[in-house]
Structure 1
């Protein structure tokens, strides 16, 4: 069974994001970049399925310029077998990403496609759903547990009311949630081995698809700073302030 995992290069979640002085974008100068956490969970799940003997090959795919090869090498060090970078300097929207992944899937014919449910930079939560629609494959989003039996896929997903279990027939598309697993750290020997694993580069033209974005960035604003809290001397004073100042109780 072949698994395709889509990954994205994002600002490391531990980094405090800075906004440019002219408010046109986020300042990426000298900022540490990393594998999107949800994508890392998708890679980990694919590797676990391979360790269980369920999967035989893991292909990781990323769309972007040469620097995103660093994140592809990270995925290879975590246990993926080979990587593909679709070369572009354009920042694509979710639909363009889905179209590129659909073309890759048509060529590679994976039995299972794993994606993080969203990226922590744009937070769109759209690509997996669009990809499933373009490929006309069943999908399960926000997966917190994945079980495979033959060509049958059982996915437990998190919904507002609790947990929902879906049975799907592969090939299928699954987007991963935080509780699915805890990604491992890449060991030094595996990091060295990852340097020798195949990493192919293709252009959108090679895949017969164009990359664009229908989204226009107007401006970027940092979040408002939280004001300092206050101490109250009694429960009565707390209730009075909640009622008359915060107006959160009647």
Structure 2
């Protein structure tokens, strides 16, 4: 049974890394002594070791040790044997490329669907959708496929931003870009605002956090969803 927290972001303004989620993570990973971290989306200027050390400091606050997947000779076995898994943010194109390079996309999906507790933030959340095509990231590398884990039956746009009516910026809004996606694709897209996350338990998908999310469906008007909304109807 799927058991996931899929968050828009790892860090809120004026907060520490994962601080706002730690009460949830304490419960989510309550049966875990060690967490497997996938640092493949690593932010610019960070090594896998740097990124893993940053994550380890955050999880030490709830007494969970962290090992990076790059520390294992057999990453497939590392995923299969993990007590819990976290995929962090960074660049989604890079993350997806690395997962395919090491033949991990399918085994990661199967392991999560079998019930291993999973946390995704930003890029690590993007890959929970059916494809990565609604990411905000630049295509700095070219993955062999846009298909991702399919943990949820729709796509995500983490870090979703509403248009600023006072801005003089004339570029595309997030909503415009999602509408461009829907000109060629029928998958629903959830705009997940900062501080919000999805709780996935089996086939039940609940919006959590303190902000609404914005649901986009092809040829329909966007819909605001309140915290606590059940998105299972999209299955």
TM-score band, normalised by shorter chain: 0.3 to 0.5
| Structure showing the higher strand proportion among its residues | 1
Larger-gyration structure (1/2)? 1
Q: What TM-score results when the alignment is normalised by the length of structure 1?
A: 0.35
